[in-house]
Structure 1
């Protein structure tokens, strides 16, 4: 004999009603419009004005002819002096970025690994230079690297040299000071990039027979690459656009794109040419960002 089984009906809870599409779109639009307007006023419009200025013609007398011409770009691209200046700017960015990574990486790795109760204080000390004006820090490096500064006095006292080394009013002082000035930015980027890092992976690699160098190159370094790339991009862009430190430490003898833009706009009064150099520097920024995006995608796909 068969019996019919009657199950007790269960009460189903209807899913929450989705907000109307029009209302959702209106909310998104209301949230994004203020930011878009701010970007339009503070970034897009000045950029358009700068582009229009770069297409005008000017001379050393300060006269600007309201025309549409690529004369300023042709002047830059056909003069070897400006090509050398662009190369010096690019080289400065690459060298400062390399040494900033070299010096900042051990510090960031220590701050991530340490279990000290003063970890927060140590991180704050590492990025504390950002609270000081770059002008003050630059003048501090002028004092330290001068002929009677701490660096030269120490070198002479230890017998490494018998006369003061020329560390200011040249590229050497600019390189040294910019590496220190950019270190906090690199440390912050590395600390953010170490979010994927786990000591358990190191222990697993060591248990499989890998020594410390293999653990570093096979585990730690690949996991930290996103932070390294982000820090490299940030430091490189800030370095090639820096003006205060090359101007002060270089003593007016280090010529870069940023210093040339200032000289053309204030001393020579050739605003169209200064605007053209600015756009060339901006194009260099875009090229570096494209390389960064491709490198980051390749790392994330592995």
Structure 2
């Protein structure tokens, strides 16, 4: 091998490129698009539209849009129609005079019959709510505190009546509470009564049947609202010498009041709008807003009066919900303090 011939090892090894400002070895300057290095992220333009993230507000609105449309079609538009109908006037033979007048409101609010209907509706709602809470509270408290392996089965049995139509259950109560029903036959067979008890075709029978019908709703609402109840607090109070009555009055009852309020609101609203039970058990002698609205719209063909009664029923719902929200805030202020409750 002569001195002029290059070394094979050196021929296979390429020379190192010179370090320049545009190469990755020179961190002081960013590579330009014309250089061989990769472009710096800051030198690139805005991201393409396909890679941009959608706004969270747009995604939330897109998800809520089907529900909003359903509420608009099934609730908002019918409510507007009812409000518009309440401003019309009824003529002879079911004729509706298209107008914008409060004469129908004046006639309804000036009638003692409709005030009696409103009073009996509120009376029924209060009685059914109180009876349902008294009967359902022990059941819900037991289901919320039990640790038995049969708890799921017991909860299912408590709400099993919901699988049966309220119409069928009401007919069952008609057979139980009637003059020749199970209750009167049993009392007569035991010699406890000489004459049958009047448990049907009156407000008493409606309250009894409605209490049983709305019990599953109250139990579910109470169980879901008993989240604050902690058995450790009861054990601690008992260890400190508190009797059972004091433990229930100072610990159990205050912690379960949110669930009781929720159940009371649900049962009261359902009892105010109930139609089947007052109609069948009441036998045409119990007049409430739901039955009166049906009679005015279907029997008398007086749609403006039916619309006015519907508006009044909605107003009662609004007052009840406002009272519920006030009571809920008062409870939250008691548990968490006024400052946290306002926040």
Under a length normalisation based on structure 2, what TM-score does the superposition of the two structures give?
0.81
2:167 corresponds to 1:131: no
Residue 63 of structure 2 is aligned to residue 66 of structure 1: no
Number of the residue aligned with 2:216: 184
Write the distance in 1 (CA, Å) between the matches of 2:260 and 2:212: 17
Matched, 1:100 2:132: yes
1:70-89 counterparts in 2 under 5 A?
A: 70-89=102-121
Cα distance, 1:44 vs structure 2:
0.4
Contact 1:60/1:268 (8 A) holds in 2: no
Conserved in 1, the CA contact under 8 Å of 2:91 and 2:97? no
- Residue 149 (structure 2) aligns with: 117
Consecutive unaligned residues in structure 2, runs of 5 or more = 1-50, 335-343
For residues 150-192 of structure 1, give each alpha carbon's deviation from its aligned partner in whole angstroms, at most 9, with x where no partner exists. Answer: 1111222233211111111111111110010010000001100
Please say which structure displays the higher CA radius of gyration: 2
Q: Which moved more, 1:187-196 or 1:110-119?
A: 110-119
Q: Aligned residue pairs: how many?
A: 284
Match of 1:47 in 2: 79
Q: How does 1:150-169 map to 2 (within 5 A)?
A: 150-169=182-201
Q: TM-score, normalised by structure 1?
A: 0.91
Structure 1: unaligned runs, 5 residues or longer: 1-18
RMSD between aligned alpha carbons? 1.3
Q: Name 1:215's counterpart in structure 2.
A: 247
Residue 261 of structure 1 contacts residue 278 of structure 1 at CA under 8 Å; is this kept in 2? yes
For 1:156 and 1:224, the matched residues in 2 are separated by 41
Question: Which residues of 2 match residues 260-271 of structure 1 at below 5 A?
Answer: 260-271=292-303
CA-CA distance at 1:73 after TM superposition = 1.1
Q: What SS does the aligned partner of 2:120 have?
A: helix
Asked if the contact 2:218–2:264 (Cα under 8 Å) also holds between the matched residues in 1, the reply is yes
